[in-house]
Amino acid sequence: MKQHLILASGSPRRKELLENVRVPFTVVISDVEEVVDPKLPPSEIVMSLAEQKAAAVADRFNESIVLGADTVVVYNGEILGKPANTEEAKRMLTKLSGNTHQVLTGVAILFQKEKILFYEQTDVTFWTISEEEIEDYIETEEPMDKAGSYGIQELGSLFVKEIKGDYFSVVGLPVARTVRELKKAGFSLK
């Protein structure tokens, strides 16, 4: 019997990444209230958040494979989430300017009372960006719904000097590893 895959995320980027590699799935947005222990390391936080999102959907669709994911930006040990306002976006981008930060994406695959949890970490180095460039970027409103206040796949790409790791993980889902793990869970692309 062919397994049905559900993406427990409203992220248009994750949806697009799966569509690009022709993975058949449906979207069911998780409405879970995210709760984490801030004392945990970022790697455990992203896996916990991914699992919470997937579990909230898996409870309703126990015959399906459910995929959850979460992405955080970390600079000097501090998690930079989505900015609450333009001032917060400006502070984050100023911190990242001329520096290297880490982007961690946690993935949870839940199926038949089993689970696969993993994360990918990618180092991203920014060029030094001017205050004017930061303000122009914030005016586009692109930073407002993105961890760390930038999207590497859009205008935020203009700040990226170098990346070491999985580019797609920075976008929101380490696609190649995710597909390999889905196959371990019995999911077939055909």
Helix, strand, coil shares of the chain as percentages rounded to 5? 40, 25, 35
Rounded to 10 degrees, the C-alpha dihedral 157/146/115/58 comes to -130
Pair 148, 101: CB distance under 8 Å: yes
Does the active-site annotation cover 70? Answer: yes
Task: Indicate which residue of 59, 70, 145, 166 is catalytic.
Answer: 70
- Supply angle C-alpha 149, 116, 81, rounded to 5: 15
CA dist 130 to 58, 89, 91, 113, 124, Å? 45, 14, 13, 50, 18
Catalytic residue ranges = 70
